[in-house]
Amino acid sequence: MRSALNRRAFLQNAIRTPVGKMTMRPNAHGELVSLLAYGAMRLPTIDGNQAGLDWGGSPAPIDKPEVFAQVDWAIEHGVNLFDTSPCYCRGESEGMLGEALARHPRNKWYVSTKLSNFAPETQTAAASEKMYRTSLELLRTDHVDYYHLHAVGMGGFEAFKKRYLDNGMLDFCVKERAAGRIRNLGFSFHGERKVWDWLIERHEQYKWDFALIQLNYVDWRHGHALNERNQDAELLYGELVERNIPVFVMEPLQGGKLAKFDYGVAEKLAPLDPEATPAKWAMRFAGSPPKVLSVISGMTFREHLEENVTTFSPLKPVDDREKAALEAAAEELVSARVVPCTACQYCMPCPYGLDIPGILGVLNRALGEKRLPDPKSPDFEKQRRQFLLDYELSVPEPLRRADHCTGCNRCQPHCPQTIDIPREIQRVDGIVERLRI
């Protein structure tokens, strides 16, 4: 949340006026889709924060007038794709988005949602079908434009089999597509290569209309280096292009991490465009591969929406020099051993109450800003105080901090980034312990 707020403060003083029209790309059926998609995963709440998934985020109600205003502004400025899921914003995202979109003619927008049957009780055919029909109801539509098998690969092949094969839900979705109630069928992918291969090898059979992958200038060539169970985006993108499957992009800013002047980005990129923000660089990179149909970016604050719209109106693809500079920045991030946490909160709630993304965020900020306390550094005392202060402010409740981790490992299988969460939490605990002496 902190990085989103920092980006916001920065943008409040900037002028954002789209200079042209939104870049549009054709989908598998020749319909034009805006390169920027409005992601409704982290909608604004009335306390000025953002909502999380079924858990986490601000507990305050969603700021409905603000969501309506953002959706109106987005449509007015050429955005025509809106992405949601039954599990976003404590289950309120679909209803809120449905209400906002219903105020506009149906031919002005496309909606994308997902079969988010993560909980075992939602994995029977009856419960999963109910989830799908509820999505249609909440979105106030008789058809969904893009329907995802949500986060396939997370939990391995067994989870995929349970969620979509054993219960017949994949066949069900194919039938719904034939009936026209699903216009485009695809999947969002996280992690496990075996699941990816299964889906890709069956493209002839299922005729995927799209696939959603995590693509940003770090994951492009370093997704696997950051976590050996993840795949490089360049590789996944190449396999999709080979089969002519349109690509949707998620996490263009890696959960907000790339929206900050960290990891040496400023020094490497400023000579090329001193005015550009880190988020603009990251968004331009994500939108540049020509087979990317749309980049889904979670919107919370108006400033983010305005900046993203401006960046893509129209998109100026990154050139070879810019690409090389972004790759150099990515290498720096990878060598800093930053944890690839996107703050998505899928690992929450921790049964012992830990604030997992909050704890990992403290570590990442220290790594990114090159102030991880080093006893050999002349700045050690300053670094020490800064780290502990950030920890206390970011995770104010002592019971939610790293020293309460039992190592039970309940969180780990839920992480789409396949982070070894207990190990990283222990890493933070070790640092804090050493600093407190």
Contact residues: ligand SF4, CB under 6 A:
341-347, 350-352, 354, 356-357, 360, 405-411, 414-415, 417, 419, 421-422, 425
Helix intervals (H) in 179-277: 193-201, 203-206, 219-226, 233-242, 265-269
Nearer to ligand SF4, 341 or 363 (CB): 341
Residue type, 190: H
| C-beta of residue 141 within 8 angstroms of C-beta of residue 83 | no
Strand spans (E) along 76-204: 81-83, 110-115, 144-152, 182-189
Cis ω before 413 (30° cut-off from 0): no
Our CB check for ligand SF4 shows the closer of 185 and 405 to be 405
Q: Which is nearer to ligand SF4, 83 or 251 (CB)?
A: 251
| C-beta of residue 341 within 8 angstroms of C-beta of residue 364 | yes
- Tell me the one-letter amino acid at 222: H
Cβ distance to ligand SF4 smaller for residue 78 or 155 = 155
CB of 360 to ligand SF4, least distance (A): 6
Asked whether 57 and 50 are in contact (CB, 8 A), the reply is yes
Identity of the residue, 255 or 289, whose beta carbon is nearer to ligand SF4 in the bound complex: 255
Q: How far is the CB of 358 from ligand SF4 (least distance, A)?
A: 9
Give the Cα separation of 336 and 357 in Å (integer).
18
Which tokens go with 296? 């889904």
Q: How far is the CB of 424 from ligand SF4 (least distance, A)?
A: 8
When the beta carbons of 50 and 141 are compared against ligand SF4, the nearer one is: 50
Distance of CA 356 to the CA centre of its chain: 17
Reduced to 3 states, what is the DSSP secondary structure of residue 341?
coil
C-alpha distances out from residue 362 to 30, 45, 152, 251, Å:
45, 23, 29, 20
Shortest Å, Cβ 233 to ligand SF4:
16
**Closest approach of ligand SF4 to the CB of residue 309, in Å:** 27
Min dist CB 363 to ligand SF4, Å, is: 11
Q: Give 229 or 414: the residue with its C-beta nearer to ligand SF4.
A: 414
Tokens of 204: 């002839």
Smallest separation (angstroms) from ligand SF4 to the CB of 284: 24
